[in-house]
Amino acid sequence: MRLGVLVSGRGSNLEAVLTAKPRGLEPVLVISNRPGVRALEVAAAHGIPARVLRRGDHGGDPSVRDGAIGAAFEQAGVELVLLAGYDQLLRPAYFAAYSGRTINIHPSLLPAHGGIGMMGMAVHRSVLAAPDAESGVTIHEVTQDLDDGPILAQSRVAVLPGDDAETLAARVLVEEHRLLVATLAQIAAEVGSSRPRTGPPLSDAS
């Protein structure tokens, strides 16, 4: 299954996937909306083609840029796009240009601590302020509504006494990497088993 990844920053989830190489998954294109980010170095280190598509290079219009992102994945034959730390809302032009599936990883137990502004450390601060006894990881389908698509997988992480946003984020991140690799492997296996077999027909040896 041909995988595209959309990133904005550190790229640790991208790195976890490229390092684990889940069976049946072929990473073919990484797109960043920001130049100079570590995620682009991660893609280069693994030999995965990468592009930077900035709003500023598309007349300052985020819709035009999002259409270009969708078109790039479509042209690359991508079947599944992973948002791995992508910090923008995807506008309808993306969904119009790209016909495949898109999933996102979020560092809380959605629907809790999702939605506008719930990115990065803000998520973990919100969990601690609640205060919640546990947090976790959610992987979900991406629709045009932020953090609102059907949930594919979730995993719980305890909030420990003395946790601050940084310590909680670090523990959640370890679980993100594990759940992401496992979920991608499962999706690839499901898609692989539902595809018609290619190659010479199976026959008895007559």
Looking at the annotation, which residues are catalytic? 106
Q: Which of the stretches 10-18, 58-66, 90-98, 150-158 binds ligand GRF when contact is defined by CB under 6 A? A: 10-18
**Which of 4, 5, 6, 9 is the binder for ligand GRF (CB under 6 A)?**
9
The Cα–Cα gap between 138 and 42 comes to 23
Whether 142 and 103 have beta carbons less than 8 Å apart is answered as: yes
Task: Give the range of 3-11, 26-34, 64-72, 185-193 binding ligand GRF by CB under 6 A.
Answer: 3-11
Nearest to 56 by CA among 74, 33, 76: 33
Q: Which is nearer to ligand GRF, 61 or 87 (CB)?
A: 87
Q: Does 107 bind ligand GRF (CB under 6 A)?
A: yes
**Pick from 106, 113, 124, 140: which binds ligand GRF (CB under 6 A)?**
106
60 Cβ neighbours under 8 A, 6+ residues apart: none
- Binding mask 47-86 toward ligand GRF (x if CB under 6 A, else -) reads -------------------------------------xx-
Starting at the edge strand found earlier in the chain, the sheet holding 134-141 runs 50-52, 26-32, 2-7, 80-83, 101-106, 134-141, 151-158
- From residue 22, alpha-carbon distances to 84, 128, 146, 173 in Å are 16, 33, 27, 19
CA distance 183 to 16: 12
Q: Which of 10, 34, 51, 171 binds ligand GRF (CB under 6 A)?
A: 10
Contact positions vs ligand GRF (CB under 6 A) = 9-13, 39, 84-85, 105-107, 173, 176
